[in-house]
A and B are shown apart, each in its own frame.
Chain A
């Protein structure tokens, strides 16, 4: 079953602008992770935020987590054409079956 649900499904912005993607989930989690997928490729891990954390930064990425609302957001600042990709949130509930993925947000950065 798919736990996370990203919003919006697709997002198109101009280069240099900030991009914000949201993820909602249903059950308790140990951590939430964001991944990027370029077309036809595997997923690349971006950032992991644990359930006791509220905000985390990595370069131009900023992730927030609100466990009371069961939601997370990924902010990419000063976007670049190379950021064009699909972005997925994945939740880890601590089970042996690993991560549960949402359907992703397809981000297009217009040059």
Chain B
């Protein structure tokens, strides 16, 4: 929040479609993260990036892809290979060091 913008807030996907979730930040932080949250659950790491043009898989990367062409932007694509994509997706940024993370307001993705 306050410098991290996720869009859209709600997204509906048909079976077999790819969709892209946007995450933009103006905090000038190097590290960016994508998490997935299922009802009543904690956050699970999908992908993270410490620097432009570099990113790493998290614990549940299968069926997702990312890019980091600009420091400010870290879009997440949910591909048709992700069989259970309905969830709440959260983007976070940090300085990458021994500090807190800042979160966007999330995107709720629903498969219809």
- CB of B101 within 8 A of CB of A97, answer no
User: Which residue among A42, A88, A97, A99 has the maximum number of chain B CB atoms within 10 Å of its CB?
Assistant: A42
Which residue from chain A places its CB closest to the CB of B91 in the assembled complex? A42
Is B98 a contact of A50 with CB atoms below 8 Å?
yes
Q: Mark B1-32, 1 if CB is under 8 A from A, else 0.
A: 10010100000000000000000000000010
In A82-111, the 8 Å CB interface with B consists of: 88, 90, 92, 94, 96-104
Report chain B residues within 8 Å CB of A97: 45, 48, 56, 58
Q: Is the CB of A40 within 8 A of B108?
A: yes
Q: Are B106 and A40 in contact (CB under 8 A)?
A: yes
Q: Is the CB of B103 within 8 A of A42?
A: yes
Q: Could you mark each residue 47-77 of chain A with 1 if its beta carbon is under 8 Å from any beta carbon of chain B, else 0?
A: 0101000000000000000000000000000
In the complex, B94 has a CB within 8 A of chain A: yes
**Is the Cβ of A101 less than 8 Å from the Cβ of B43?**
yes
In the bound complex, CA of A98 to CA of B4 (Å): 17
Contact for A96 among B96, B98, B104, CB less than 8 A: B96
A: interface residue count bin: 20 to 34
Q: Are A42 and B104 in contact (CB under 8 A)?
A: yes
The CA of A49 and the CA of B102, in the complex, are separated in Å by 16
Specify the chain A residue showing the minimal Cβ separation from B33: A98
Task: Select B101's contact among A40, A98, A104, beta carbons within 8 Å.
Answer: A98
Whether A43 sits at the interface, judged by CB under 8 Å, is yes
CB pairs A–B below 8 angstroms (18 shown): A2-B42, A4-B42, A31-B98, A40-B88, A40-B106, A42-B6, A42-B103, A43-B92, A43-B101, A44-B1, A45-B100, A88-B43, A96-B56, A98-B45, A98-B48, A99-B101, A100-B45, A101-B44
Interface residues, chain B, CB within 8 Å of chain A? Answer: 1, 4, 6, 31, 33, 35, 40-45, 48, 50, 56, 58-59, 88, 90, 92, 94, 96, 98-106, 108
